[in-house]
Each structure stands twice: as structure tokens, then as C-alpha cells.
């Protein structure tokens, strides 16, 4: 039980560590904020795209073996972060190999919990794994900020490798869980799921980096997702094996719950890209200061999840979910007008507390609500779909917020430069041409180092434009989590109209993605 909880702790801390270390990674590897953003989004994308097929792979090779392979892959990614000398190494080992490891690890973990524990012990195991994820979300920004500021961001990832090594050294204590279902593979369904989820988010990442064929990639992804739905129903009617049973989506509670899970993760993903960048680029905070500034959100999220999970009483889960989306939307909306006006992270405390409370309420209820109508023998498959929706939402939120941020930065900077009476026309054209291929979120201090040799009045004008354009782009990026939160609120009204369904077994921690 503790071993499974330790592994979950590492997975959640990993993301927090990367977010608060953005500026340090950029500086040490001489790369860009958009490059690091893309790596973070790509890791979530790979996990989402392969989680359904790797759930089946775990069934075929053995759940314990899949769990071990997933941990090893994640350790390879963390080890690469401690040694990486370029962004390419991070993309290959941390984002791709680590993401594949997570897609193996998460469904295998659920099956191992389900098979190693029964009754009250099973509920305690799910609760412990869920609690470890919540604790990691709470302490991750603080731990990451501390080691990055006073030691190195590489040390944090090195500690992940140590924890994984401890888990693997005691893996003999975990009993494997035999799979008794069909050993046939829905290859077409697996390919369509990877191409569908991967194509949509990959298109956004390519757009973010200024690449070509963006609309084609997104169109391919959308067509593949539509084809997946058609294929699954066709296979079901022919009584052939399917990647997942489409009849799961006949439960309105399950469908609205999965949509709520995805929207909640888009909200979280968008916020966790925009907020660390604001703190580290606009306020020029170091990792420790950024971690402390984000602590109100993460700590409140943890506290609200724990309190609501234990003391919900007779309150309807759907009503709590609705309150969660209300608070998350209000908190995010209140941050947007503050971005260009504040000079200290302390002024974000109240909005972050409100946002964190909303996200905590969602974490405490969404899984039980979503999985309650699902029969016991299909709970693992349903949890896999739930995890895939969450991982897809996270990667979409990360990529979309990052892409919109850079597009807004380029537009604002170009427009304000063209309107400037200080910058000569020739330099205006040069700046516009450079931004078309390399728009970049940059602190004033970093930009000041790059524009040396210009007349003082031109340098001051460029710095002022960068300051204003950067803050506007961060405001626009925060519209992604805000709109996702409002979408979740609309979806929650349908949840409230549906009847409550009591789960057959405790399901805390089932969604670990």
C-alpha cells in the first residue's frame, strides 16, 4: 500500500517540480520558455495518448510487470533530467519515455490495488494513494522551489530516482493480479485512440512553436476521434473485441463525469502554465519564491479535497462539483485583471485560495461521481477512460494556454511596436519579422541583456513594450482555464439534474492521471 502511494507521490511531484523550475531550466540549458512549455505538454500528451492501449498491454504482459516497466521508464526520464545538457534530451527521455512510463504505470497501479486488497483494505489503499497525490500537489511547489533555489533543479529529479529505486527494491511485496479476460487486441481502435488524442494536442504544440500543417494535424486528430467512436460501436455490434466498451458512455453520469474530469484538468493545466510563467517572468521570482506564491493554491486544494472527501455528509456530489467549478472560475477570473497591476505574489493569495478550494472540491467528488454507475467488473476499464480524459485535458490545457500566450504576445508586441513613435520604422519591421518565427515570453532583465547597443530611449521603449505585451499575453492565456471552468459549471448543471448513484465500492484515488 505504501509502495503504491510512494510511486503516486513521485508522479505528481514531478510535474510540480518542472513548473516551478521553468526559469532555472531555461537559464541552465540556454533554451526558451516555449520549448520547456512544449516539453511539459508533450509529457502529458504521451501519457494521455497511450494510456488506453497500455492498459491492455498491462493486461497481456502482467500488471506487476507493467507497473515495474512504467516505474523504470519514469526513472529514466527523471535521471535524464539530472544529466540533461539540452532540451532535446528532456523531450526524448523525460517527455516521451517518461510519458510512456506513466501510461503503463497508472492503469497497472489501479489493477494492482484492486487485486491486492479487498473490502475496507481496498478502500484504504485507494484513499492512501489519493491522499499521496494530494499531498504531493501541496508540497510539490514548495519542495521544488527549495531544491531549485538552494541546490539545483536537477537535485529534485535525482530524489525522484531514489524514491523509485526504493519502491522497486521492495516490489516483491506486491502480488501480481492475473488477467482473465480476452487476450485479443483491438489494433485499429488502439491506433485511432493514439492518433486522435495525439493529433489534436500535437497540432497545438506545433502551432505554439510556429510550425506548419497545424490545421491538418488537428483535423487528423478530430477525424480519428470520430472514427474511434464509429469503430468501437461497429466492433460491439459484430461482437468483436474493442479497445473499450462504448456502452460505458450510455451512463449519463459517467459521460458527464468524464467531461467534468477533462474540463477540470484543462483548468488546472492552463493555470499551471500561466501562473508560474507570470511569477518567474513578470515578477522575476526565483523557484523558491514562485513555489511559495503558488502554495496557497496547492495547500488549499489539498485541504479542500481532504475535508470535502470526509465531511460531505448528505450533500449531493453533483452540488459539490458545481460549487467547485464556481470557485475555480471565480478565482481564475479575479486573477486576470490583477496581472498587469501587481508587483508581489502576496496580492494573489486570496484568488489562489479560492481557485484551490474549487479544484479541491472537484478532486474530492469527480471520481466517485463518474465511476459510481459502472459495474464492478468494468471498473478498471472505466477508470482507464477517466484517467485518459484527465490526461488529455491536462495536456490540452498546457498546450492551448502556451500556444495562445505566444500568439497574443506576438500580436501585442508587433502592434505596440508599430504604434511606437520612438522605434524607427526599419527596426519595427525587423522586430515584427523576428516575432513571426520566434515569439518568446521573456523577463525584462533577460531582454535587457539582449538589446545592448541600442540608444537608451529605444531600449527603454522595447522594455516597456515587452512588459505590457507579456502581461497581456498572460491574461489571454488565463482565459483557457477560465473558459474550461465555466464549461465545467455548465456541465455540472446537467449533473445536478441526474439522479445520484451510490458506488458499489470506495473509489477514491481511481483517477490517478
**Are the C-beta atoms of 51 and 105 separated by less than 8 Å?**
no
How far apart (Å, rounded) are the C-alpha atoms in residues 77 and 44? 13
pLDDT at 117: 61
**pLDDT tens, the chain, 513 aa long:** 566 667 777 777 777 777 777 778 888 888 877 778 778 878 877 887 787 788 777 777 877 888 889 889 988 988 988 888 888 888 898 888 988 888 888 777 766 766 666 655 655 555 566 566 666 766 777 777 778 777 887 888 888 888 888 888 887 777 776 665 666 778 888 888 888 878 877 787 777 666 677 788 889 988 998 898 899 888 888 888 887 778 888 888 889 999 998 999 899 888 888 888 788 777 888 778 887 888 888 888 878 877 876 666 677 888 899 999 999 999 999 999 988 888 887 888 999 999 989 988 888 788 778 877 777 666 667 777 877 788 788 878 877 888 888 788 878 888 888 887 777 776 767 666 655 555 566 666 776 666 666 678 877 887 788 788 888 888 999 999 999 999 999 999 999 898 877 655 444 444 434
With CA atoms as reference, report the closest residue to 460 among 422, 429, 425, 494: 422
Q: 513: which DSSP letter?
A: -
**Are the C-beta atoms of 395 and 48 separated by less than 8 Å?**
yes
**Are the C-beta atoms of 129 and 5 separated by less than 8 Å?**
yes
How far apart (Å, rounded) are the C-alpha atoms in residues 471 and 204? 21
**Side-chain half-sphere CA neighbours of 147 within 13 A:** 23
How far apart (Å, rounded) are the C-alpha atoms in residues 502 and 197? 31
Q: Taking the model in full, what pTM does it have?
A: 0.80
Amino acid at each position: 500500500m505504501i509502495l503504491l502511494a510512494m510511486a503516486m507521490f513521485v508522479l505528481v511531484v514531478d510535474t510540480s517540480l518542472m513548473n516551478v523550475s521553468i526559469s532555472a531550466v531555461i537559464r541552465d540549458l540556454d533554451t526558451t520558455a516555449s520549448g520547456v512549455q512544449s516539453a511539459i505538454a508533450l509529457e502529458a500528451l504521451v501519457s494521455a495518448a497511450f494510456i488506453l492501449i497500455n492498459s491492455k498491454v498491462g493486461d497481456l504482459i502482467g500488471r506487476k510487470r507493467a507497473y515495474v516497466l512504467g516505474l523504470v521508464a519514469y526513472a529514466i526520464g527523471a535521471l535524464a533530467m539530472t544529466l540533461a545538457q539540452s532540451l532535446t534530451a528532456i523531450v526524448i527521455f523525460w517527455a516521451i519515455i517518461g510519458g510512456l512510463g506513466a501510461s503503463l504505470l497508472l492503469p497497472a497501479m489501479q489493477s494492482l490495488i484492486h487485486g491486492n486488497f479487498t473490502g475496507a483494505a481496498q478502500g484504504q489503499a485507494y484513499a492512501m494513494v489519493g491522499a499521496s497525490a494530494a499531498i504531493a500537489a501541496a508540497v510539490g511547489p514548495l519542495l521544488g522551489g527549495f531544491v531549485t533555489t538552494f541546490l539545483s533543479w536537477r537535485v529534485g529529479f535525482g530524489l525522484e530516482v531514489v524514491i523509485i529505486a526504493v519502491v522497486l527494491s521492495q516490489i516483491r511485496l506486491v502480488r501480481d493480479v492475473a488477467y482473465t479476460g480476452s487476450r485479443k487486441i483491438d489494433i485499429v481502435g488502439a491506433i485511432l485512440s493514439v492518433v486522435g488524442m495525439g493529433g489534436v494536442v500535437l497540432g497545438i504544440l506545433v502551432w505554439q512553436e510556429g510550425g506548419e500543417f497545424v490545421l491538418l494535424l488537428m483535423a487528423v486528430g478530430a477525424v480519428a476521434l470520430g472514427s474511434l467512436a464509429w469503430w468501437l460501436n461497429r466492433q460491439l455490434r459484430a461482437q468483436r473485441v474493442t479497445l473499450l466498451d462504448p456502452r460505458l458512455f450510455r451512463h449519463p453520469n459517467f459521460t458527464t463525469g468524464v467531461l467534468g474530469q477533462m474540463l477540470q484538468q484543462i483548468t488546472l493545466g492552463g493555470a499551471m502554465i500561466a501562473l508560474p510563467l507570470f511569477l518567474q517572468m513578470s515578477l522575476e521570482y526565483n523557484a523558491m519564491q514562485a513555489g511559495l506564491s503558488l502554495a496557497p493554491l496547492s495547500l488549499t486544494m489539498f485541504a479542500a479535497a481532504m475535508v470535502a472527501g470526509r465531511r460531505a455528509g448528505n450533500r449531493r456530489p453533483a452540488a459539490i462539483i458545481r460549487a467547485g467549478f464556481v470557485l475555480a472560475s471565480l478565482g481564475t477570473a479575479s486573477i486576470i485583471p490583477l496581472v498587469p497591476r501587481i508587483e508581489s505574489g502576496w496580492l494573489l493569495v486570496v484568488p489562489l485560495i479560492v481557485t484551490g478550494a474549487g479544484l479541491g472540491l472537484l478532486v474530492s467528488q469527480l471520481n466517485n461521481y463518474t465511476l459510481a454507475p459502472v459495474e464492478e467488473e468494468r471498473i478498471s476499464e472505466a477508470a482507464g477512460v477517466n484517467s485518459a480524459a484527465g490526461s488529455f485535458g491536462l495536456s490540452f490545457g498546457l498546450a492551448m494556454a502556451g500556444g495562445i500566450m505566444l500568439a497574443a504576445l506576438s500580436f501585442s508586441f508587433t502592434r505596440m511596436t508599430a504604434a511606437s513613435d520612438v522605434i524607427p520604422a526599419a527596426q519595427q519591421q525587423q522586430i515584427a519579422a523576428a516575432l513571426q518565427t520566434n515569439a518568446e515570453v521573456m523577463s525584462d532583465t533577460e531582454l535587457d541583456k539582449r538589446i545592448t547597443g541600442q540608444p537608451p530611449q529605444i531600449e527603454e521603449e522595447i522594455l516597456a513594450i515587452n512588459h505590457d505585451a507579456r502581461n497581456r499575453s498572460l491574461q489571454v492565456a488565463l482565459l483557457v482555464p477560465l473558459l474550461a471552468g465555466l464549461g465545467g459549471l455548465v456541465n455540472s448543471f446537467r449533473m445536478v439534474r441526474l439522479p445520484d448513484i451510490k458506488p458499489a465500492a470506495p473509489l477514491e484515488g481511481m483517477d490517478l492521471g
